Structure 1
Amino acid sequence: MEQIAELALELDKLKSVYRKSYISNTSRRENSAEHSWHLALTIMGFAKFLPNTVDINRIIRMALCHDICEIGAGDVSAYFVTDAQYEKELQYMSEFESHFPGIGTDAKALWQEYEDGQTEESRWLKVFDKLLPFILNIQSRGLTWQEQGVTKNMVLKHNEFIADLAPDIHKWMLAQIDKAVEAGWLG
């Protein structure tokens, strides 16, 4: 029971990692635990639209584990990521694996799969992992983009990979980007 409690308390720390994105009513920033939960449930909601070859259970597990690294490394803006951030995340995931054998090994493998982006599940998860903050930015009238000085070209470059995997989603995003620029939410 002590190990279960220790694991639960360690994972609870993800609730204290605040992201750059605001929740939809803009009253506060979302935390990484909320983001992971939101991502997993969104994947569940859109499962029937994903290719039959996507392992839904695996992608949901990956969604729940992909940001555990932020407990030790913190969150950084998706537009300003450095190689040093990856190293901090890897170090924490190695420590997590060592301290919590079993789930730690599974979580690190899922995190690494996501980071590598070579599997169908990791690529689809990346689509939704980029889409959710994008939707929150549209809902908040570009609040996070404005705070960080993010430009249209930065958003286009950050999300261009989506065009190949999910062209309908990408087309919708492009229309939203144009509206955001026209409204002055995005430079």
Structure 2
Amino acid sequence: MTPFDVLLQQIAFIHEIDKLKYITRKTRLFNSNRHENDAEHSWHLAMMAMVLAEHSNEPVDVLKVVKMLLIHDLVEIDAGDTFLFDTVLNHSNTEAERKAALRIFGLLPQKQAEEFLHIWDEFEAGETAEAKFARTMDRLEPLLQNVSNEGGTWMEYNVPFNRVLEKTVGIQNGSQTIWEFAKALLDSSVEKGILKKGEADV
């Protein structure tokens, strides 16, 4: 394969991932009624990781974390976005997402395709220091967004406190410091009435 052939494969991938800009998330931008798209989400998480890396429970390779955060939602081009706080569907890796990863990363030259798939798998497994911190960023952003929007999608979709807690408690796996901050936000949200506790949450 010539360098030009390699370039053509890489350009095809670059064209394909432009579609991420059209994947609309349920969550809205800070202090806004406009829904966020997946590309904005990935960019914001990457920036957050660079800014907040010092709060990781363990030292992390920030470039690797950034790669994870820019790659992790590309599968939603095919599989679509599942609302993090959905009370019916589970926001987890699915067969559809794996199939999407193989197709989308498969547009790249083999070596790059294998690297991207490995990084995506590592994020999904959530076992390494980098994956734990990347997943902390992924859980923190929607929490910040909903707080900034006075309950946002929590209020809109009547998401109970226990569901939000279930989906955000994993923040502590990547950063205990950030989890303490997140817990304070959750408690404040309950006090303000923008996050509702049911009988099972008391």
TM over 0.5: yes
Structure 2 unaligned blocks of 5 or more: 1-6, 197-202
1:54 to 48, 60, 66: 60
Give 1:47-126 correspondences, 5 Å limit: 47-50=53-56, 53-80=59-86, 81-82=89-90, 86-101=94-109, 102-126=111-135
Structure 1 equivalent of residue 155 of structure 2: 146
Q: Which moved more, 1:79-88 or 1:9-18?
A: 79-88
Q: Does 1 or 2 have the higher relative contact order (CA < 8 Å, sep 6+)?
A: 2
Distance in 2 separating the partners of 1:28 and 1:3: 34
AA paired with 2:67? R
Structure 2 equivalent of residue 42 of structure 1: 48
The answer to whether the 8 Å contact 1:36/1:67 transfers is: yes
The answer to whether the 8 Å contact 1:93/1:104 transfers is: no
SS in 1 for 2:140: helix
Distance in 2 separating the partners of 1:4 and 1:122: 25
Structure 1 equivalent of residue 36 of structure 2: 30
Aligned-pair Cα RMSD in Å: 2.0
AA paired with 2:63? N
Distance in 2 separating the partners of 1:84 and 1:24: 25
Q: Which moved more, 1:100-109 or 1:36-45?
A: 100-109
2:179 to 145, 170, 173: 170
TM-score, length-scaled by structure 1 = 0.90
Distance in 1 separating the partners of 2:163 and 2:134: 20
Alpha-carbon shift at residue 163 of structure 1 (Å): 3.2
SS in 2 for 1:99: coil
Distance in 2 separating the partners of 1:72 and 1:52: 33
Identity, % of aligned positions: 33
The verdict on how the C-alpha distance between 1:164 and 1:117 changes in structure 2, with shifts beyond 3 A counting, is: closer
AA paired with 2:99? Q
The answer to whether the 8 Å contact 2:155/2:195 transfers is: yes
SS in 1 for 2:94: helix
TM-score, length-scaled by structure 2 = 0.84
Distance in 2 separating the partners of 1:40 and 1:83: 20
Alpha-carbon shift at residue 5 of structure 1 (Å): 3.5
Alpha-carbon shift at residue 149 of structure 1 (Å): 1.7
Distance in 2 separating the partners of 1:173 and 1:84: 21
AA paired with 2:112? I
Distance in 2 separating the partners of 1:180 and 1:91: 38
SS in 2 for 1:27: coil
Structure (1 or 2) with the larger CA radius of gyration: 2
AA paired with 1:22? R
The verdict on how the C-alpha distance between 1:43 and 1:84 changes in structure 2, with shifts beyond 3 A counting, is: closer
